[in-house]
Amino acid sequence: MAARMNRTRGTALIGSVVVALALSACGGESSAEAEGEGSGSTGNCAPEDITLVGQVRNQTNPYEAAWLAGGDAFAESVGLEQQKLTYDGDSQQQQEQIRQVLASGDASCTVINALPNGDSDTTPIVNAADSADAWLVTQWNKPADLDPTEYERWIAHLTYDGVESGYQIAKALFEEMGGSGGVIALQGILDTAAAQDRFLGLQKALEEYPDIELLDDQTADFDRATALEVTRTLLTQHGDKVGGVWAANDDMALGAVQALEAAGVDGVAVAGIDAVPEALEAIADGSMTATVSSDGPWQGAVGLAMGYCAATGELDVASIDADDRAFFAEQFLITEDNVQEFSDPQLDMSEFDCDSLFSRATGPIAAS
């Protein structure tokens, strides 16, 4: 990924000077401090004292690897390094990694940009960070009733409208199939809002296409190797009735493509979500039909940028609009018609300036 390193705030050295001057101009304390109300929602960390942590399941998933690459790009732009953590889908390991990070230094200057393994994993992550006064951004998974506005240093939770993305790729898939035929569906990790919502999007599209039949749906855990085996099994069971494969992410879609190629099956449409480079190549060469961009590099960078701005005092968390504390981010449907526009992604580093962090917010996540 060729991320541009020139940020509007300038180089890391210049950015550090600007932050220091800004803090000096404020006398080193916020208006809340002056009024005796505490300063839980703003920080006063020197940039060089900040620890940036990005945590995802693994780096073999190209989307999550791209997330960490975006985090690296942001960290480099402010003269820091990102500490990269992976937990291989093990919730206990994820929690232990967070505990170790929080115990290893000044947690008040620690920034964590985390992908919780499942909805139920978000609460202990939030509680651990809150108890340690660390800065936290979470993405994708959280219980509907867990609200960042009730915390001072849980800056934001961002995700994508999974119902809409699942619906968009289903419609593209069904149109490619001519509006009729049989489909198999590869679901993600079922204890995640992303998997649940995307499957709801598929069901919404099925209601609009009465001549499309859902032959079977099985979980493949967002994993390519698992998807290959599940697709192979479903092809054996359903044979030439399969005209399309709907997958809840690109890694599973690419596993399905491998299974189809190994079985010598042509003419089956495949759609996924994430817009990873291999999926874009597959769309360009015709072996996949569609994907939806959730821009992993931007996610990896923006979470760290939010924490960095809060830790330095450039962002007052209490001043963030409530709708931006838990929000849907912008996403894009990609097909053969526009795939070239997304084939060479570039990070626009100006999006990570402290006054631009919520520029991709499209609306609040509604509580269920």
- For the stretch 119-152, pLDDT in tens is 999 999 999 999 999 999 999 999 999 999 999 9
Residue 209 main-chain phi, psi, to 5 deg: -125, 80
- The CATH number given to whatever domain includes residue 121 is 3.40.50.2300
Average pLDDT, the chain: 89
Q: What is the pLDDT of residue 27?
A: 36
The yes-or-no verdict on residue 24 having pLDDT over 70 is no
Q: Do 284 and 322 reside in the same domain of the chain?
A: no
Give the number of other CB atoms < 10 A from CB of residue 6: 10
Range of the domain at 277: 162-293
Q: What is the pLDDT of residue 248?
A: 98
List pLDDT tens digits, range 43-95: 999 999 999 999 999 999 888 999 999 999 999 999 999 999 999 999 999 99
Q: What is the pLDDT of residue 367?
A: 55
Does residue 335 fall inside a structural domain? no
Does residue 304 fall inside a structural domain? yes
Higher-confidence residue: 166 or 342? 166
Question: And the tokens for 335?
Answer: 């097909």
At residue 31 the predicted structure's pLDDT band, cuts being 50, 70 and 90, is very low
Q: What is the pLDDT of residue 343?
A: 82
Q: Do 16 and 148 reside in the same domain of the chain?
A: yes
Does residue 210 fall inside a structural domain? yes
Q: Do 156 and 302 reside in the same domain of the chain?
A: yes
Residue 247, beta-bridge partner list = 186
Mean pLDDT over 93-110 rounds to: 95
Full DSSP string of 207-249: HH-TTEEEEEEEE-TT-HHHHHHHHHHHHHHHGGGEEEEEESS
Higher-confidence residue: 329 or 20? 329
At residue 22 the predicted structure's pLDDT band, cuts being 50, 70 and 90, is very low
Give me the sheet containing 326-329, strands edge to edge. Answer: 82-86, 51-56, 110-114, 135-139, 154-159, 326-329, 361-364
Give the pTM: 0.79
Alpha carbons 240 and 182: distance in angstroms, whole number: 9
Number of domains in the chain: 2
Give the number of other CB atoms < 10 A from CB of residue 38: 11
